[in-house]
Amino acid sequence: MRIEVINTGTELVLGNTLNTHGAWFGRELFKLGLRIERQTTVPDGDAIRESLSEAVSRADVVIVTGGLGPTSDDLTREVTAEVLAIELIMDQAVLTGLEHFFAIRNRPMADANRKQALVPVGADVLPNPNGTAPGVYVPPRLNGRGHAAVFLLPGPPRELHPMFREEVIPRLRALAGGEVAAGCSELKFTGVGESDFHQGIDARLAEIEGLEIGYCAHVGEVDLRLIGTEEARAAGREIALAEFGQFLINEDGRSLEETVIRLFAAKGWTIATAESCTGGLISSRLTDVAGSSAVFTHGFITYANEAKRDVLGVDEALLQRHGAVSEEVARAMAEGALRVSGASAAVAVTGIAGPGGGTDEKPVGTVWLAWAVKGGATKAIRGFHPRNRKDFKLAVSQGALDGLRRLVLE
């Protein structure tokens, strides 16, 4: 089944807005075992005509986003009807819904909004609970110019994403028939690279019948996606975990920080952080999680040596003897954060983010991480991430959070 995606929006081609639709559709379709053969971005207005005409002549499914609004530049509905040689009619139910949308918000409905109720004759209206523009589905039998099924969907992600899940996926499954994969599993790993997977298990995964695999690599994280029947996915999962099980973050699609917060919350434990080189990124990631206030209580960003000494009670002699980036100081920071905060566990990081500050012995990218727990022994490890400043911070925060996760599991 050949699928093409067309994104309309002048802001996309001017670079004012990053087009995230392409990657998002790619991932969602891949989970169904489907692929995008071509993705096209065009400005608002009439430019869609040309690309839509071409796409419907080639593809089995064409998904168009954007251009369903009320302004004069929103022409997706009109151009699609013309290209597919179908008439547009005013859909009374949609019109009533639009009037209701404005009435309950106490706003007058502009005349321009009426055109949002225009629908190609016989097409399905896809409800939009999050905006004024309903989606449209034109099944292949209505297409007067080819065999393609056409979806018209709203541009804003918060309208598009729920509509895709509720209205588009079931129709794609029906269109694809046996082509759609039975399901998708996602396993997130940290502490291991994509090339380790290629060398370690790719060949064995390839031997499993009916299994497709994909990787999504981020800084400090590799997501392995297994697509296929339940049986094929189980076989793939077994191989992956036998080799890399110790690096598994989760299989539920959550972020590492959310996993940490949930694990700690379930135990009733609290966290404090003591950050030097990450400058608050670890605590910022933890507090991105709704409900993190039940777990995260204190964060100390001790960027200056005086802060390490005065706020966390790190011994000046340790700083002098070993330097701020050392196992001894990392341990003292973690234990200091634990003592000052009274939390159940504390993580500390101290390293050289660069571009300056490196030495032969401790080059840019060097970091020490330490974890202290109430009534337990403090652990420390050395890391080395010779990357740009932001990626260094991200990689270190990933290691720090993963260490917190392991504390709970051990």
Encoding tokens for residue 259? Answer: 């996993």
d(CA 159, CA 403): 37
Residues 1, 98, 226, 282: which binds a copy of itself (CB under 8 A)? 282
**CB nearer a copy of itself, residue 86 or residue 282:** 282
d(CA 274, CA 261): 17
Scanning residues 22 to 41, which ones bind a copy of itself (CB under 8 A)?
22-30, 35-41
**CB nearer a copy of itself, residue 175 or residue 307:** 307
Q: How far is the CB of 215 from a copy of itself (least distance, A)?
A: 7
Choose among 288, 306, 304: nearest CA to 296.
288
Residues 70, 131, 156, 280: which binds a copy of itself (CB under 8 A)? 280
Contact 360, 370 (CB under 8 A): no
**CB nearer a copy of itself, residue 93 or residue 304:** 304
259 binds a copy of itself (CB under 8 A): no
Question: CB burial class (10 A; 0-12, 13-18, 19+) of residue 100?
Answer: exposed
Q: How far is the CB of 300 from a copy of itself (least distance, A)?
A: 7
Encoding tokens for residue 272? Answer: 């404090």
176 binds a copy of itself (CB under 8 A): no
Scanning residues 352 to 391, which ones bind a copy of itself (CB under 8 A)?
353-357, 389-390
Query: Which residues, at least 6 apart from 177, have a Cβ–Cβ distance to it below 8 Å?
Result: none
Q: How far is the CB of 193 from a copy of itself (least distance, A)?
A: 14
**CB nearer a copy of itself, residue 36 or residue 241:** 36
Binding range to a copy of itself, per CB under 8 A, among 14-22, 81-89, 240-248, 328-336: 14-22
Residues 76, 185, 283, 326: which binds a copy of itself (CB under 8 A)? 283
Scanning residues 48 to 67, which ones bind a copy of itself (CB under 8 A)?
51, 54
Tell me the β-bridge partners of 135.
126
**CB nearer a copy of itself, residue 15 or residue 375:** 15
DSSP string, 198-246: HHHTHHHHHTSTTEEEEEEEETTEEEEEEEE-HHHHHHHHHHHHHHHGG
Residue 356 has φ and ψ, to the nearest 5°, of -95, 180
**CB nearer a copy of itself, residue 118 or residue 216:** 216
**CB nearer a copy of itself, residue 88 or residue 285:** 285
Scanning residues 310 to 349, which ones bind a copy of itself (CB under 8 A)?
310-311, 340-342
d(CA 267, CA 270): 9
299 binds a copy of itself (CB under 8 A): yes
Torsion (CA) 187, 193, 199, 201 in degrees, nearest 10: -10
How many chain residues touch a copy of itself (CB under 8 A)?
75
Q: How far is the CB of 277 from a copy of itself (least distance, A)?
A: 8
**CB nearer a copy of itself, residue 96 or residue 359:** 359
Kindly provide the b/e burial profile for residues 55-64, where b requires at least 16 CB atoms within 10 angstroms of the residue's own CB: bbeebbbbbb
Per-residue contact string for residues 229-258; x = within reach of a copy of itself by CB under 8 A: ------------------------------
One-letter amino acid of 253: G
Q: How far is the CB of 66 from a copy of itself (least distance, A)?
A: 14
Helix (H) or strand (E) holding 27: helix 21-31
Tokens 């013309």, residue?
Answer: 82
Q: How far is the CB of 69 from a copy of itself (least distance, A)?
A: 15
18 binds a copy of itself (CB under 8 A): yes
286 binds a copy of itself (CB under 8 A): yes
ω into residue 355 within 30 of 0, thus cis?
yes
Residues 122, 129, 140, 291: which binds a copy of itself (CB under 8 A)? 291
Query: Which residues, at least 6 apart from 36, have a Cβ–Cβ distance to it below 8 Å?
Result: 3, 4, 5, 22, 25, 26, 29
284 binds a copy of itself (CB under 8 A): yes
Residues 169, 234, 248, 307: which binds a copy of itself (CB under 8 A)? 307
